[in-house]
Amino acid sequence: MLDIYDIERLEVLRGPQGTLYGRNTIGGAIKYVTKSLGNEAYLDTRLTLGTYAQHDFLASGVLPLSDTLSIGGSAAIYRRDGYGENQFTGKQNHYAKSVDAFRMSAEWNPTDTLSFRLAADYVEDNSDAKHGHREAPGLGLAAGEVVLPDVFDTRAGAGDDNLVRNQGVSLTAAWQLNDAITLKSITAYRDGKTNTLIDFDASPQPALDIPGRYEDDQTSQEFQVLFEGERWQGVAGLYYLDAHASGEFDTSVGLLNLTIATSGYVDTTSYAAFADVSYSITDRWRVSLGGRYTEDEKEGSVYRQDFSGLGSPLFGNDAAVSWPVRAPTTSTTRTFDQFTPRASVSYEFTDTFTTYASYSEGFKSGGFDMRGDVVLTPDTVNGYDPETVSSYEIGAKGTLVDDRLCYNFAAFRADYSDQQITRQQPTVTGSIASFVDNAGASTIQGVELEGSARLSDRFSLDYGIGWTDAEFDEYNTFTVVPNPTPPPATITVPVDLADTAVFQNTPEWNGNLALNYAQPLQNGWGSLLATLSGSYRDSYYMFEFPNPLIDQNDAYTLVDASIAWTSNDEKLRFQLLGRNLTDEEYKIGGYYFPGALYGNIVNSFYGPPRTVSLSASYRFN
């Protein structure tokens, strides 16, 4: 939804964050920084037409009401037919798109030292539900289902209804007390709602169908003190979050005429204090120290009940008959707290060459798994503990050849402990229960190089390459083995699967290259900009254990190209854009529940095929 934001810059922050602002994160953050509205009135419009009946429209503008008050807004409508067909229903909208997005903002600067910014946004996605492409013939209730030749086609029979809605509002106030101190307050609210269904078996029969409803909301308040001196600068702050997440879903297994109804919620109250200070020891040496204390209180409640028949009272089947044995509704509260430090040092060898090293610790609080079954796996009522990480990074940044070559290099390592993963537990009934547990430890390390080069006044390139080595040091679960001294005939024993477990969606190599050529036209006819780009991803796994049927087994490269004409006054612009020009076929997700009980679910989801679009933009001011 970036089109509805007037983006000034994007910041990609690797490793644990939380000593500078906001909620703590353990792996990293992407920060979207929007532009100030300013005092210039304008209206930007864009119409895009493309393959698969794509027709998008965007309008974004600013209206100054006075020298100190401006309002702005954006609206976007995205429509596209599907890449494939549901051959059971005959609808041609599988992988279709239907999204509306809106944003309003206002800025008031009553004095040079006082400012207020109010922003609200709304996104509604009514795109039909996506269903998987079967990679193996069906069994059980799905017997007779074959592998369709088009990877975007399906024969799912559960339906297409799907709704995702998200909205939020925030108020930011800043007061510059003097040249050294600025006070800031950030108040925000956000909520979301999802009504969806998952046809796991991708067949007309209800071998494994799951309708679901989810809702969440959160309110946060943050206070910051920013301070700056001749050699030092820093920030200190307090953060509060009150969040509620809830959901309910039916797991309907047609071959057993069984539905497992699940519902629950998790409430989170978080308090934090953070600070980060940088000091220039000399004109070349600079050090930075930071820390954060976080306390999260979570309450989790889980309800599970088995019913005869397909569908439970949660989704309108009041005639469903409950089984005598059920998992009682559980409600548990736990508190997690952690202090996480950060330290870095940098040295400027020259005005165009800087090196740095950093160390930080991260913390992700524990919680409760809404799928936990306290009858089959009683320990799930206690939830799971926090996971922690120690993160190390060294790097260099600079420019060469009269600033024509820019580069950023980083080498990093992250050591995770008590890692939260979904593990499997054999149950007393002979089945397998899956739930989140602190069953892992891992090491993630790698290097990245990115930058740009200006080869001439007209020709430039952007580049990036990354190598990642991610391995589990521990992957603890349980297995059933013969009892050497029966009875019973079998026993459950712990097992460490770290030697065979792999990381999801983590290619070893990735890279990108973009070639840009700018050409001014004669006689004031504007200018052309042509771009040819490619992005490379190595092979990767969909889940924690290899499965050649649904994994992305081959590396692939996506090739895009565009050519744009812009008028001299930069008001009018046309762009022709082609994506995935070589029509690469690549997987982005999958399900794997083999065997006759669930219909032999071996399904994949695929990234977009080749598309071409033409956009026309005009600015009124």
Ramachandran angles phi, psi of 313, nearest 5°: -60, -20
Give pairs for 477-481: CB < 8 Å, separation 24+: 477/423, 477/424, 477/425, 477/439, 478/423, 478/424, 478/425, 478/426, 479/426, 480/426
Q: Are strands 97-111 and 69-80 parallel, antiparallel or unpaired?
A: antiparallel
The structure tokens listed for 389 are 């990480």
Residue 102 belongs to a domain: no
Give the C-alpha distances (Å, rounded to integers) separating 199 from 85, 165, 212, 458, 598.
15, 21, 11, 51, 11
Query: Which pLDDT value is given to residue 562?
Result: 98
Q: Report which of 404, 400, 439 is spatially closest to residue 418, judged by C-alpha positions.
A: 439
**Burial of 337 from C-beta contacts in 10 A (0-12 / 13-18 / 19+):** middle
Place of tokens 């709304």: 122
Residue 400 belongs to a domain: yes
Instruction: Identify the domain containing residue 276 by its residue range.
Output: 229-501
How far apart are alpha carbons 93 and 113 in whole angstroms?
A: 53
How far apart are alpha carbons 227 and 122 in whole angstroms?
A: 34
How far apart are alpha carbons 521 and 519 in whole angstroms?
A: 6
Residue-wise pLDDT for 512-542, tens only, equals 999 999 999 998 899 999 999 999 999 999 9
How far apart are alpha carbons 412 and 447 in whole angstroms?
A: 6
Residue 531 belongs to a domain: no
Encode burial over 497-527: b for 16+ CB neighbours within 10 A, e otherwise.
Answer: beeebbbeeebbebbbebbbbbeeeeeeebe
Give every residue of the chain whose pLDDT is below 70, as ranges: 1, 325-328, 427-432
Percentage of residues in the chain with pLDDT exceeding 70?
98
Rounded to the nearest 10°, the torsion over CA 456, 576, 126, 6 is: 40
Which residue type, as a one-letter code, is found at position 112?
Answer: D
Residue 562 belongs to a domain: no
Query: Which pLDDT value is given to residue 579?
Result: 98
Ramachandran angles phi, psi of 99, nearest 5°: -135, 135
Query: Which pLDDT value is given to residue 429?
Result: 62
Residue 384 belongs to a domain: yes
Residue 15 belongs to a domain: no
Give the C-alpha distances (Å, rounded to integers) separating 412 from 38, 319, 420, 443.
39, 57, 21, 11
Residue 123 belongs to a domain: no
**419 CA to centre of own chain:** 19
- CB 197, CB 212: distance < 8 Å: yes
Residue 132 belongs to a domain: no
Ramachandran angles phi, psi of 15, nearest 5°: 85, 180
Q: Report which of 57, 14, 13 is spatially closest to residue 32, judged by C-alpha positions.
A: 13
- Looking at the DSSP bridge assignments, the partners of residue 98 are 79
- CB 221, CB 194: distance < 8 Å: no
Give the C-alpha distances (Å, rounded to integers) separating 461 from 65, 154, 331, 364, 465.
42, 41, 56, 38, 14
DSSP state of 429: T
The chain-wide mean pLDDT, for the chain, equals 94
Which residue type, as a one-letter code, is found at position 531?
Answer: T
Q: Are strands 84-86 and 258-280 parallel, antiparallel or unpaired?
A: unpaired
How far apart are alpha carbons 72 and 105 in whole angstroms?
A: 5
Query: Which pLDDT value is given to residue 326?
Result: 63
Query: Which pLDDT value is given to residue 377?
Result: 79
CATH of the domain at 465: 2.40.170.20
Total number of domains in the chain: 1
Residue-wise pLDDT for 328-376, tens only, equals 677 889 999 999 999 999 999 999 999 999 999 999 999 998 887 777 7
Query: Which pLDDT value is given to residue 483?
Result: 87
